Amino acid sequence: MQMLPMLRSILRHPALFVCEFSNELVRSVRIAYDEHQIARRSKILDWNTSRSQRAGRRAVRR
pLDDT score, position 15: 81
Q: Give a three-class secondary structure readout of the chain.
A: CCHHHHHHHHHHCHHHHHHHHHHHHHHHHHHHHHHHHHHHHHHHHHHHHHHHHHHHHHHHHC
Domain that holds residue 54: 32-62
- pTM for the full predicted model: 0.44
Q: How many domains in the chain? A: 1
Mean pLDDT per 10-residue section of the chain, whose length is 62 residues: 74 80 90 87 71 62 53
pLDDT score, position 26: 92
Is 20 part of a structural domain of the chain? no
Is 42 part of a structural domain of the chain? yes
pLDDT score, position 30: 92
Is 46 part of a structural domain of the chain? yes
Is 60 part of a structural domain of the chain? yes
pLDDT score, position 42: 78
